[in-house]
Amino acid sequence: MKTVSGTVFACWLLLALAAALAAEPVDLQLRLAPGETRVYAETWRGRGELVRHQGETDQKLALEASAENERVWRVDELTEAGARCRAESRRSKAGLTLVEARREYRRERPWRAFALTVGPRGTVGEWEVLAPEPPHDQPGENEPPVDFDLGELLVLAELGLLPPRPLAVGERWQWPPPPKQPPAPGEREPRRPVTVSGRLLTLSEGEQPLATLETQVQVVLAPRPTAAREITLNGTLNAVLRVRFATAAGCVETVDGPLDVSLRYERAGQAVATVRLGLAVEARRQPPTAGART
């Protein structure tokens, strides 16, 4: 009986110790070094609806969409403001099917590249879209009639969307923090380009310690040109993502979750088409190739 009681006590002690360790706040930070390269394979697929606005009538078309991309991160240098990085795309493929018309579009063209200054918790101080390839006047025969480049969201996801302070398991955070005072009557809270909130779900030990986070993110897409002449695009991206962050290596291993996409195409301020998609998104860190520094 004493042996059994001692065993039970030892198990209880181990469980109590594990719970105490889990309650300790952990500070999740990126580890970036000059010359470092990281590669993520990105995929998404789903369904939705395209609405073409033609005068006083609307034409609704069911869509099936998919895309894949490989994003290469390079760290150029470390500065007082953060790590200067480039995120470039390659092997980009996109497909779209107009279901009722049984018409399929395919595209193979690199998505936009970005130059960023990144803080240790993944915050972006400077953000520049690098010069894309020359625009087309009109979409070609194999050009999808929607923009497939979701770079703003995927770049932020691969930086971790990390909490701004140390957290214990179960704790939540929000960035930017909510305003201290609600808007005055008749005023609206300003719309931020990116809002993030989340919760630290688990911390696992072992050969590769991982922190798992559930993160909600909204990205407001500022108007930008498209392949079609005089047509601009704006919209919003809303996602609930599961982020798995390698705490020792200081990098995101995987990100996945549902994403709602709402896009609006305009000519001279008037909507010519709107698109809504429900997608499943994933970004997965790729193993380093021979000779690459990671």
Structural domain total, the chain: 1
13 in any annotated domain: no
For the record, the structure tokens of 18 come out as 């594990």
Region class of 181: left (phi > 0), else alpha (psi between -120 and 50), else beta: beta
195 in any annotated domain: yes
Residue 108 has a pLDDT of: 82
- Helix (H) / strand (E) containing 21: helix 2-23
Residue 120 has a pLDDT of: 93
pLDDT tens digits for the chain (294 residues)? 445 455 554 555 544 445 545 568 999 999 999 999 999 999 999 999 999 888 788 889 999 999 999 999 999 999 999 999 999 998 888 888 989 888 888 888 788 899 999 999 998 988 998 866 545 544 544 455 666 788 889 999 999 999 999 999 999 999 887 666 666 676 666 668 889 999 999 999 877 899 999 999 999 988 888 777 788 889 999 999 999 999 999 999 999 999 999 999 998 888 889 999 999 999 999 987 655 555
Is the CB of residue 46 less than 8 Å from the CB of residue 65? yes
- Strand locations in the chain, DSSP E? 37-54, 57-79, 82-98, 103-108, 114-118, 124-129, 172-175, 194-204, 210-225, 231-246, 251-267, 270-285
4 in any annotated domain: no
263 in any annotated domain: yes
Residue 183 has a pLDDT of: 64
172 in any annotated domain: yes
185 in any annotated domain: no
Cα→Cα distances 232→58, 147, 224, 237, Å: 19, 10, 5, 17
Residue 183 burial class via C-beta count within 10 angstroms: exposed 0-12, middle 13-18, buried 19 and up:
exposed
* C-alpha dihedral (104, 108, 114, 118), degrees to nearest 10: 80
Residue-range definition of the domain harbouring residue 166: 26-180+190-285
210 in any annotated domain: yes
293 in any annotated domain: no
Residue 146 has a pLDDT of: 65
